Structure 1
Amino acid sequence: MRLDVVMDVLPGRAAAALARVDVPWPARWDELGSVVADLSALVRSGPGARVVAQELAEVLVAAGPGGHRAALAGLVDRVLDLHAVACLAEPPDGRELATWLLRLQTGFVEPPEVRLAPYASSLGRDGLAFYRAEVVARFERLPVIGFGETGRYDRERWALLRVMEELAEFTGDVDLQVLVLARDLSSGWHYLQVATVLRDAGRLEEALEWVGRGLAATGGRGAATRLVDLGVDECLRAGWVERAVELRWRAFRTHPALETYLRLRGTAAGAGVWPSVREDVVARLRDGADEVLRQVVDAELGAVSGGPVPEWLQRLRAELASRES
């Protein structure tokens, strides 16, 4: 069969095979495999296969929501690989290619996951910039899922999320990674993810800002401990001792508990500033819950181990005794 005839019939053959539900699947699968093999031969023959590959990809993707989803997804991957090769032989306009790739990934019920690396040369700098601008603009219109909320991940959100994740990975752009992660802040762990990405990128000030935001959102619970640990570790590594102690103090004020007290005490003592911090901590404990006060007094008395009890601890013990009398 002449190549020009093959070009005209391949998408139609695939559509016909998919539509023949009265034919057993193995026979239809063989026909689809034959179509892809003919496309491969067409790509090897030179220019002219790019548009056919696009049309064939759309036919297969549109059939995805039916049965045999996994098998069809594998065929789509093969067709996209061939399409990327065809684009090299017959370079399209970068913006037109970007538009088609976005439509393929967001305009169908079961869109494929497209890898950008094989298309990098064909997109070119202008096409990739256009692709990025378009997907970022659409992604930024999605509502942020706030702390404690149950996010609604509809088809559009899932599709755009996959596109953004691939774009961020391909470009290595930290700002894109943060944009993706910051669209879902439903738990403290999401704040921790953002802070970690920024920390790993050497953007410490921004990481600490996200630590603070996460601490405020969580009320000092859940992932807050990990958030504060990250911030304190990085502050100490940078020599910012006062900021490390302030983070521990803020965590204790936000969620007064034995754990946050001991972490504050350890960091402040290690920095040599526990005596200056202690009076504020004691005042907070005296104004706080009985159970927290009891736990702290017991822990500190245990640390004394029968030795002399410091004056500040005597005051706390007296406060506890007066409450329990």
Structure 2
Amino acid sequence: MDSLPATVASALVEADDEADDAAWPARWQALTAVSVELQSLLVTDPGPRLVALIEEIVTQLADGVAASRRHRVELAELAHRVLTTHARACAETAPDPRRLADWLLDLQLHHPEAPDVSLAAYARALDDEGLATYRERAVALFEPLPVIGFGETGRYDRARWALLRVMEELAEYTEDVDLQLLVLSKDLSSGWHYLQVATVLRDNDRSDEALEWVERGLRAVGGRGAALRLIDLAVEEHLRRGSPGRAVQVCREAFFLRPNLDVYLKARALVVHTDDWPPLRAELVQHLVQDGSRLAVEVYRRIVEVELARRGIEEQDLVVEWLAQLRGLQPDAFADYLDHIKSRHVADRELLDELSRRGF
């Protein structure tokens, strides 16, 4: 038993490339034999001494993963295999749970490449006391990490990656929503990350917090990226809460922030069959006229096409008035756009006659 660490140390010494190719099969055989021997000792000689021995060998293998140029994958797999034996040994030996928690955490923090620790495998050995120690220390190390702000490029050095992996596993194992949120909220580099946080909150019946994160996300993205999905989540949540007016307000505010046909259609779907739609539609269209930017004009053109396709007889005059406004906004390109409209509605004699009567 005592000679196993020396065997591992000898097998992990890498030579130059040519010599390594020739020597590796024998070295690998020696390493796998150590793994098999440890499993045998688990049956014949379990106890604290074996646990300490396996910990030493796991650490050696993890060091080997970091140092190896050519055999990192094989060594990582072997380290994971030996760590599985360690978990079984701990389950039978019942070591000090606090010391075990510290060792598992140190192993991961000092060796980000491998192996991955499964807390479920150590549930019996850690017990509540060890898990509390593990959590307390992991959170204390993770909380001070800086948040990656919107639009920033995250710098995931080895230490941050290691802590992130620890926290993700801990959150998954404990099913602790607050831990999951702590992990997610450390990276807010895009709107999709805000959406992740809001979705977790929504799925765990924390509606007010979810909507707060949606608002934060919408302010951050400025109508781009994940904005539509954030709006969808907010609209769905307000409707679920019986607040359709607030759902419409979300769409209105988002449209004013950055005009978008999809947002217009969301608002339309919410109130098109109510008395609230005509004044809201007028407000949205007037915003485009006042904006006058290229984006606003493009959205205006698309809205005209949508309303032409869906209009009722009573709305025909309104659509024609919109065309008149559009001609004022984009005089140089209006003739081509009007030809496009006429060609798409060539069978609509009523519309074509009205356009002709209005001088189009």
TM norm structure 1 = 0.90
Answer yes or no: is 1:285 the counterpart of 2:255: no
Q: Which residue of 2 aligns with 1:80?
A: 83
Alignment of structure 1 residues 63-212 onto 2, 5 Å: 63-65=64-66, 66=68, 67-108=70-111, 110-212=113-215
Q: Displacement, 1:298?
A: 3.6
Give the unaligned 5+ runs of structure 1: 1-5
Q: Displacement, 1:257?
A: 2.3
**Does the residue aligned with 1:309 lie in a helix, a strand or coil?**
helix
- CA 310–20 in structure 1, closer or farther in 2 if over 3 Å, else same: closer
**Does the residue aligned with 2:192 lie in a helix, a strand or coil?**
helix
Q: Displacement, 1:162?
A: 1.0
**Inter-partner Cα distance in structure 1 for 2:298 and 2:14:** 72
Amino acid at match of 1:42: L
Q: Which residue of 2 aligns with 1:46?
A: 46
**Inter-partner Cα distance in structure 1 for 2:218 and 2:59:** 46
Q: Deviations over 1:258-310 (max 9, x none)?
A: 222222222232676324533432432331223333332343233226x2337
Amino acid at match of 1:106: L
**Inter-partner Cα distance in structure 2 for 1:152 and 1:252:** 34
- CA 264–108 in structure 1, closer or farther in 2 if over 3 Å, else same: same
Moved more, 314-323 or 16-25: 314-323
Amino acid at match of 2:4: L
Q: Displacement, 1:168?
A: 0.9
Contact 2:112 2:162 in 1 (8 A): no
**Inter-partner Cα distance in structure 2 for 1:285 and 1:113:** 54
Q: Displacement, 1:314?
A: 6.0
Amino acid at match of 1:319: Q
Q: Which residue of 2 aligns with 1:3?
A: none
Answer yes or no: is 1:303 the counterpart of 2:310: yes
Q: Displacement, 1:12?
A: 1.7
TM norm structure 2 = 0.82
Q: Deviations over 1:49-72 (max 9, x none)?
A: 110010010000000020211111
Q: Deviations over 1:161-213 (max 9, x none)?
A: 11111111101111111111111111111112112222222222222111111
Amino acid at match of 2:145: L
**Inter-partner Cα distance in structure 1 for 2:330 and 2:27:** 81
Moved more, 224-233 or 296-305: 296-305
Answer yes or no: is 1:25 the counterpart of 2:24: yes
**Inter-partner Cα distance in structure 1 for 2:322 and 2:228:** 26
Q: Which residue of 2 aligns with 1:58?
A: 59
**Inter-partner Cα distance in structure 2 for 1:251 and 1:280:** 13
Moved more, 310-319 or 86-95: 310-319
Aligned length: 318
**Inter-partner Cα distance in structure 2 for 1:207 and 1:255:** 22
Contact 2:285 2:300 in 1 (8 A): no
Contact 1:62 1:110 in 2 (8 A): no
Contact 2:234 2:247 in 1 (8 A): yes
Amino acid at match of 1:159: A
Amino acid at match of 2:181: V
Q: Which residue of 1 aligns with 2:4?
A: 10
Q: Displacement, 1:316?
A: 4.1
- CA 242–26 in structure 1, closer or farther in 2 if over 3 Å, else same: same
Amino acid at match of 2:46: G
Q: Which residue of 1 aligns with 2:244?
A: 241
**Inter-partner Cα distance in structure 2 for 1:117 and 1:263:** 45
**Does the residue aligned with 2:12 lie in a helix, a strand or coil?**
helix
Query: Radius of gyration: which is bigger?
Result: 2
- CA 134–245 in structure 1, closer or farther in 2 if over 3 Å, else same: same
Q: Which residue of 2 aligns with 1:319?
A: 325
- CA 147–271 in structure 1, closer or farther in 2 if over 3 Å, else same: farther
Q: Which residue of 1 aligns with 2:356?
A: none
- CA 324–58 in structure 1, closer or farther in 2 if over 3 Å, else same: closer
Moved more, 265-274 or 54-63: 265-274
